[in-house]
Structure 1
Amino acid sequence: MPDDYLPDEQGQIPTNLRLLILLEEVARAGVPVTPSALKDTLNLPKPTLHRLFNTAEAAGYLQRDLDGRSYGPGPRLRRLAVNTVSSQRMRTVRLAILRNVARDIGETCNIATPDREGMTYLDRVETLWPLRIQLPVGTQVPFHCTASGKMYLSTLRPAYLDKYLASATLESCAPGTITDKKKLKKEIEQTSKRGYSRDNQEFMDDMVAIAVPILDDQKRLTSTLSVHAPVQRHGLDDLVKHLDRLRAAAKELSELINT
């Protein structure tokens, strides 16, 4: 049963809170869930649960998964999450952290969040160098060929990673793009072991990047912190030298969202 709600006299969730608690529990699960999986958690009759799931799906807050039975966050719930994280007071502190790490490293730093089709840039602080790569806030980039995207893929359960690889179209974006699914899976597994991801001219020609995870209080990835630079200034090994600074900033950002 959820912790932070006021039950009625029968010990059930009040009608005006049921949909909100349902969405909270789906988000908390971190994987697609079926109505029956939440029956005992929410202590609601099966018909009521199905009605709530149908209402949330019709409104765009939930989205049916590939199996046709389970549900995950829909576009409106994902947009609500991004808008919540981007609230002005939190964003002020978040940008201060991002500016500090960008200043210390001397290159552009980004925070990106996973969406259905790729990673979306939530915040960005540009380098002061005149030679820079333009990827404004709101830009969506692929999973398979970006540091942020591969960091996210490395946190998927093996079965979900296999499903992604089975259905994904690995389009070539640059000379270094990994389009072979077996090679990409090996790279994702190595990313998981090392705890950071790399983009070696895979998304854009002459651009390298690394990324680290920003975690919630259950150690799940909520977003990524990355730094990228043109190869004219830095090679991939140069960026890896800043890994400790990047991880320290990611820890600060994790503490911010978990406060």
Structure 2
Amino acid sequence: MPDDATTRKEPQIPTNLRLLLILEEVVRRGVALKPADLVDAMGLPKPTIHRLLQTAETEGFLQRDLDGRSYGPGPRLRGLAVNTMSSEHLRTARLAILKGLAEEIGETCNLATPDREGMTYLDRVETKWPLRIQLPIGTQVPFHCTASGKMYLSTLRAATLNGVLSARPLEKMTDKTITSAEAIRDELRKTGKRGYSTDDEEFMTGMAAIAVPILDQQQRLLATLSVHAPVQRHKLAEIIGFLNPLKQAAARLAELHQHQTADN
């Protein structure tokens, strides 16, 4: 018998919108999707879905996930998301929140988003102290040894986390870097329970940091908000004292995103 997925009547979706709607569905779900998931969601025949996915992969808007069958955001789609978040109007409001936070706590504050290989700094406001750590906008840092990266990892499903941790050996950046996958999992469980993550000189000797999540309306992680400082000025225990203003700023940033989404 013929495959129902290939013989069903195609929905009236304009041809020039189909690829955009696939990208929208992948982003909306927040997880890598198999072709069958998209067939069910969009009602398009399997060959059409496969053709569109191949085009999106070739052009860099989607890429294969670790299982080789599912598709998640590719570099061009992630770049599009970052550039959208960096639009002038939204960035002005976002920087006002970051500047207010940096002035309140007196240390550098960072906004980072997850990418394929690590966390990428989207925005930052520097401390006025002459002793500071330079990590410019656009810098990508590892997942396993940074506060922002560990915050992101703590939100992943078990299967996805296992794939990330087993993809390659965890690089030892300092004497304090956690390189055991089981030890990282234990750290991430603690992170999930307490609602913030830490970096106690694990990424860079002499630097400590904490991070909190910025969540969308479905409670999915959009980005992380972090503060870091030289340990000569603030040990990790002191930086944890900045947690309340950090969480308040993260809530304002989440609200800003929600208003922007509603306006669009």
- Trace 1:143-222 onto structure 2 (pairs within 5 A): 143-222=143-222
Q: Does 1:111 align with 2:111?
A: yes
Structure 1 equivalent of residue 255 of structure 2: 255
CA displacement, residues 54-87 of structure 1 (integer Å, 9 cap, x when unaligned): 1111111010122221110111000000000100
Deviation at 1:11, TM superposition (A): 4.8
- Structure 2: which amino acid aligns with 1:208? A
- Percent sequence identity is 65
CA contact (8 A) 1:121 1:137 kept: yes
| Separation in structure 1 between the aligned mates of residue 154 and residue 11 of structure 2, nearest angstrom | 41
Structure 1 equivalent of residue 19 of structure 2: 19
| Separation in structure 1 between the aligned mates of residue 67 and residue 190 of structure 2, nearest angstrom | 29
- Trace 1:232-243 onto structure 2 (pairs within 5 A): 232-243=232-243
| Separation in structure 1 between the aligned mates of residue 219 and residue 241 of structure 2, nearest angstrom | 25
| Separation in structure 1 between the aligned mates of residue 98 and residue 224 of structure 2, nearest angstrom | 12
Q: Does 1:244 align with 2:263?
A: no
| Separation in structure 1 between the aligned mates of residue 243 and residue 185 of structure 2, nearest angstrom | 23
| Separation in structure 1 between the aligned mates of residue 45 and residue 184 of structure 2, nearest angstrom | 44
Question: Helix, strand or coil: the match of 2:223?
Answer: strand
CA contact (8 A) 2:112 2:123 kept: yes
Deviation at 1:20, TM superposition (A): 0.6
- Structure 1: which amino acid aligns with 2:136? P
Unaligned 5+ segments in structure 2 are 1-9, 260-264
Structure 1 equivalent of residue 122 of structure 2: 122
| Separation in structure 2 between the aligned mates of residue 178 and residue 222 of structure 1, nearest angstrom | 25
Computed over aligned residues only, the root mean square deviation of the Cα atoms, in angstroms, reads 1.1
Q: What is the TM-score with the length of structure 1 in the denominator?
A: 0.94
Question: Helix, strand or coil: the match of 2:123?
Answer: strand
| Separation in structure 2 between the aligned mates of residue 40 and residue 150 of structure 1, nearest angstrom | 34
| Separation in structure 1 between the aligned mates of residue 74 and residue 185 of structure 2, nearest angstrom | 27
Please identify, of 155-164 and 120-129, the stretch whose mean Cα deviation from structure 2 is larger: 155-164
Moved runs in structure 1, 4+ residues, more than 3 A?
Answer: none
CA contact (8 A) 2:66 2:163 kept: no
Structure 1 equivalent of residue 262 of structure 2: none
Q: Does 1:93 align with 2:81?
A: no
| Separation in structure 1 between the aligned mates of residue 98 and residue 46 of structure 2, nearest angstrom | 46
Q: What is the TM-score with the length of structure 2 in the denominator?
A: 0.92
CA contact (8 A) 2:99 2:125 kept: yes
- Structure 2: which amino acid aligns with 1:32? A
Deviation at 1:183, TM superposition (A): 1.1
| Separation in structure 1 between the aligned mates of residue 124 and residue 109 of structure 2, nearest angstrom | 6
| Separation in structure 2 between the aligned mates of residue 170 and residue 16 of structure 1, nearest angstrom | 43
Structure 2 equivalent of residue 32 of structure 1: 32
Structure 1 equivalent of residue 3 of structure 2: none
Deviation at 1:167, TM superposition (A): 2.1
Unaligned 5+ segments in structure 1 are 1-9
CA displacement, residues 129-187 of structure 1 (integer Å, 9 cap, x when unaligned): 00000100010000000000000000001121122222232111112111122111111
Question: Helix, strand or coil: the match of 1:148?
Answer: helix
| Separation in structure 1 between the aligned mates of residue 189 and residue 148 of structure 2, nearest angstrom | 15
Between Structure 1 and Structure 2, how many residues are aligned?
250
Structure 1 equivalent of residue 5 of structure 2: none
CA displacement, residues 99-151 of structure 1 (integer Å, 9 cap, x when unaligned): 00011010000000000110000001000000000100010000000000000
Structure 2 equivalent of residue 50 of structure 1: 50
